[in-house]
A and B are shown apart, each in its own frame.
Chain A
Amino acid sequence: MRSWQAGGAGLVARAVVAMATSAAVAMAIDVDPAVLDAERARVEVIARASTAAVAIFAGDGAGGSGVLLTRDGYAATNFHVVQPAGPAMRCGLSDGRLYDALLVGIDPTGDLALVKLLGRDDFPVAELADSDEVQVGDFCFAAGNPFLLATDLQPSISAGIVSGVHRYQFPAGTILEYTDCLQVDAAINPGNSGGGLFNAAGRLIGINGRASFEKRGRVNVGAGYAISANQVRNFLGCLRAGRICDHATLGATVSTSADGRVVVSDILESSDAWRRGLRYDDEIVSLAGRPVRTVNAFKNVLGTLPAGWQVPLMVRREGRPQRMLVRLAGIHSAAKLADLVAGGLEPGPDEGRKAVEKFRLPEVVADLYEPRPGYANHRFNVIERDRVGAALAAHRDTLPPGPWVLAGRLEGGEEFRIELADSLASIDLPTGSSSLAVDEPFDRNPAPPGSGGLLAALVVWRRLVTEGPARLGRTAYWGTAPRDPAALGDAAAVDLADVLETSVAGVEARCTVDADGRVLAVDLWTSPDAEPCEVRFAWDAEAGGPAALPTRIDVARGGQAFGRFVVERPAAGEAAR
């Protein structure tokens, strides 16, 4: 009895001291101005971060937190926060106003979701930091809506330090796997989910989403976990696509060998990793440019990557390092993902209508919601596809109409000539000539031989540029992927570019487009199991000719180079004739 009372008294005394204003303290004792400056700076940082904090009300007493990332209202939150809400929700900001918001995209495995607040184009935003820079001991604070207390829409702030970095948290009875997450002692309570975790500079280092709860009930016990900002950045493009995103698998499992190395213990022969040469007992050295020394580190790196990315993998076999670029498959099938999010997020045609009725969407929201299998909200896919289409169009406008001719020399010095016209594509190589009629099934003509469909890829490229994604077969916005996968890990920040997915004339293609509307890459599959034809375009600012046409084209298939085409004479329209 006595001990607790004494302890309580001590706590009270301390709390009183802590609550006294800095001014009062300044009167009582001589406070170093640096301390007061630091305090002022911290107050300002927290005030600024608070403006980007979102209180999410998902209906029926459900809800949580979010954080604004863009001026036009895109906000990140947790999948488990929006799951009960369906396509629409209301969001409060610290300006005291409630905004209509709707679901954009979800990542059920990584527990991420993107929503869009409506009604402004000047929302306050939080800036994503590089979360790999975060160190244990760093000051951090959470701004959110714990216990849904923010009935006045003002976020609650809880401060602490980073307790651990690169933590791996097993899926606890759910699919929500927290990989490579940040662990903090700032109080993370129910309702903080989806809210921002900020560093001392007020930049966003993570999205709070999970805490260790145990016998003491569902309240903070000093261990909260946040999805890292870098993982958020990797998935943001896929979320903006309105998709139900999936996480990546290498198609191989790893384990720790007796001497402590991380080695491949099982591998699917249908995986790209196998085709690239990964084998049993290979030691994993690095993945996506990050060193792998433990099984958890492997899971951590993999967990931050969207399915479909191509990443470098470094292995060691019999002491010799080997480097390969591997395409990561999805963990779940589309059907499985749909099951996982069942509950109105992935409705069939009828259920979609029901969902809309159930939530009685305001008109302004209903116009922006379109259910479709595989998507959380297909409407945003169209928005993103059209955005990339506009960039492509701006680029196209620098070219005159008519055929494109790319002539020059292969790396060995032999001449080549590629002509891409509206009805026919042809290529002259030292080994012979081939052509492809634009109206024939591309999958039956993977010319030139050995390329896996180079002409088809070039036709897709030209049609994408000249006709735009909306008119090219079935084209969807896929999301973002590294502009140069091989360079992952070389630079601190991942350089991401938009990716379009196209199904046309019997082939599937993925086209990477930069912000200026230049197509950087086309990967083309003539069948789902075939090795794709990989075409990479490069520009040399010094070269003449139309700026829209590349000065170099690298073509590869199955990890082998097909050819490097140095374009010496690019021409379009009349000049090409």
Chain B
Amino acid sequence: MSEGLSRRLAAAVIVVMACGAMVSAAVPAPQAVAAAAARKVVKIHGAGGVRGLEAYQSGIIVSPAGRVVTALSTVLDAAQIDCVLDDGRRFPASLVGVDPRRELAVLSIEATDLPSFAVDTGERVSVGTRIFAASNLFGVAVGDERVSVQRGVISAVVPLAARRGAAAAAYTGEVYVLDRTTNNPGSPGGAVVDSEGRLVGMLGKELRATATGIWLNYALPVDELAAGIEVAVSGGGGEPSAAPSGSFDPRSLGIVLVPDLLDRTPPFVESVLDDSAAARAGLRADDLVIAIAGRTVASRAAVQQALAAIAPGDPVRLAVIRGGDVVECDCGARPADTGVSP
């Protein structure tokens, strides 16, 4: 009764506060924006769970037919990736493709009529824009529990100069810097929406500023997101690669390696994508990669480096150990730094 009335009044006050000087009857209540955004974000479960690497992150549903965009991370280094929807339904996801430069990946789940975001590549929003960030930070939401929603403001639009550990972040284009601590474990792949619920960006991986070492709270703007999705789904039709060496993704050849969880993770093959160059070359799951183009590789990171060192178009020859024997596999020409061939 009076509780209900005071709630409605409170809601009215919030609406007024949320839209500041631009009071407009058209701006929906923040509760409605938060709920609508959270419905279009999935909880992703994959590899990890040890040594400070989470086995979960977030993803944005970008088509009613089950296309999900997320951050490219070790969570996706798994034979099985699961997406859990807002209603608790769990779907295995397949990797459609990746954009290593923007460090994003596109997944697909076999679902229909999903609530989804339009990836509208209109103008960028300006500094000072109020936003909501919806993500499964710290994995607090499980099953049908709704992902977390934070509120903030876009503080700056700047080129990203960041690192993870000693490695520089691959993406150096512009990002939205946010004033809330949005980029936490589990946040990567979360949606950033404006006060009307339009998708304006995607939360990126946890990174520190190169200059200061400070943890960054940032999002990839939606136009970059759209371009990245294009690269990932077209499997190479995109733009010229600007990826720095070391960022070549073995999945481009159809090779899924075990999750890189240790300092020197042995480069075992987790799985081989169907109908890929690696599959045609006879590579199999559980093969241990020992050499690439005649150079020995002792870790998963070394495999990535060695592959990156091969110029696009040059042959990729692997030596693997299988059942105690050394087996040579010729994976054909190295593709550009793009997604997996469909």
Q: In the complex, are the beta carbons of A129 and B127 less than 8 A apart?
A: no
In the bound complex, residues from chain A placing their C-beta under 8 Å from that of B140 are: 164, 167, 169, 183, 212, 223
Q: In the complex, are the beta carbons of A160 and B151 less than 8 A apart?
A: yes
CA distance A160 to B146 in the complex (A): 18
Q: In the complex, are the beta carbons of A223 and B138 less than 8 A apart?
A: yes
CA distance A221 to B16 in the complex (A): 27
CA distance A1 to B162 in the complex (A): 9
Q: In the complex, are the beta carbons of B10 and A492 less than 8 A apart?
A: no
Given A169-B140, A216-B215, A221-B181, A35-B20 contact (CB < 8 Å): yes
In the bound complex, residues from chain B placing their C-beta under 8 Å from that of A200 are: 10-11, 13-14
CA distance A37 to B157 in the complex (A): 32
Which of A2, A37, A161 has most chain B Cβ within 10 Å?
A161
CA distance A5 to B212 in the complex (A): 10
B156 at the A interface (CB under 8 A) = yes
A515 at the B interface (CB under 8 A) = no
CA distance A212 to B52 in the complex (A): 14
Contact of B211 (CB < 8 Å), options: A1, A9, A29, A161 = A1
Q: In the complex, are the beta carbons of B137 and A212 less than 8 A apart?
A: yes
CA distance A512 to B117 in the complex (A): 55
In the bound complex, residues from chain A placing their C-beta under 8 Å from that of B157 are: 10
B312 at the A interface (CB under 8 A) = no
B42 at the A interface (CB under 8 A) = no
In the bound complex, residues from chain B placing their C-beta under 8 Å from that of A199 are: 10
* Stretch in contact with the other chain, from A136-144, A278-286, A470-478, A553-561: A136-144
Q: In the complex, are the beta carbons of A10 and B158 less than 8 A apart?
A: yes
Given A32-B23, A34-B23, A14-B155 contact (CB < 8 Å): yes
B309 at the A interface (CB under 8 A) = no
Q: In the complex, are the beta carbons of B10 and A4 less than 8 A apart?
A: no
Q: In the complex, are the beta carbons of A201 and B9 less than 8 A apart?
A: yes
Chain B residue at minimal CB-CB distance from A216:
B215
| A111-164 residues at the B interface, CB under 8 angstroms | 129-130, 133, 135-139, 160-161, 163-164
Given A29-B21, A222-B180, A223-B138, A11-B144 contact (CB < 8 Å): no
In the bound complex, residues from chain B placing their C-beta under 8 Å from that of A3 are: 158-162, 209-211
| B168-212 residues at the A interface, CB under 8 angstroms | 177, 179-182, 184-185, 209-212
Which of B132, B144, B148, B157 has most chain A Cβ within 10 Å?
B148
| A1-59 residues at the B interface, CB under 8 angstroms | 1-7, 9-11, 13-14, 17, 25, 29, 31-32, 34-35, 37-39, 41-42
Interface string of B20-48 (1 = CB under 8 A from A): 11010000011111110010000000000
In the bound complex, residues from chain B placing their C-beta under 8 Å from that of A220 are: 181
Q: In the complex, are the beta carbons of B10 and A214 less than 8 A apart?
A: no
B150 at the A interface (CB under 8 A) = yes
B88 at the A interface (CB under 8 A) = yes
A243 at the B interface (CB under 8 A) = no
Q: In the complex, are the beta carbons of A296 and B161 less than 8 A apart?
A: no
CA distance A4 to B52 in the complex (A): 26
CA distance A4 to B180 in the complex (A): 16
Q: In the complex, are the beta carbons of B150 and A35 less than 8 A apart?
A: no
In the bound complex, residues from chain B placing their C-beta under 8 Å from that of A10 are: 127, 155-158, 177
A293 at the B interface (CB under 8 A) = yes
Q: In the complex, are the beta carbons of B31 and A6 less than 8 A apart?
A: no
Given A3-B158, A161-B30, A222-B181, A14-B23 contact (CB < 8 Å): no
A70 at the B interface (CB under 8 A) = no
CA distance A4 to B150 in the complex (A): 23
Interface string of B136-153 (1 = CB under 8 A from A): 011011111111111111
Q: In the complex, are the beta carbons of A164 and B30 less than 8 A apart?
A: no
Q: In the complex, are the beta carbons of A41 and B13 less than 8 A apart?
A: yes
Q: In the complex, are the beta carbons of B214 and A4 less than 8 A apart?
A: yes
Chain B residue at minimal CB-CB distance from A225:
B140
A260 at the B interface (CB under 8 A) = yes
Q: In the complex, are the beta carbons of A163 and B214 less than 8 A apart?
A: no
CB distance from B23 to the nearest CB of A (A): 5
Q: In the complex, are the beta carbons of A137 and B35 less than 8 A apart?
A: yes
Chain A residue at minimal CB-CB distance from B3:
A130
A166 at the B interface (CB under 8 A) = yes
CB distance from A42 to the nearest CB of B (A): 7
B128 at the A interface (CB under 8 A) = yes
Chain A residue at minimal CB-CB distance from B52:
A215
A-B contact pairs, 18 of them (CB 8 A): A1-B211, A3-B159, A3-B209, A7-B155, A7-B156, A11-B179, A37-B16, A38-B16, A135-B35, A136-B34, A137-B31, A163-B150, A164-B148, A167-B140, A200-B11, A200-B14, A212-B138, A214-B185
Q: Which residues of B contact A (CB under 8 A)?
A: 3, 6-7, 9-11, 13-14, 16-17, 20-21, 23, 29-35, 38, 52, 88, 127-128, 132, 137-138, 140-153, 155-162, 177, 179-182, 184-185, 209-212, 214-215
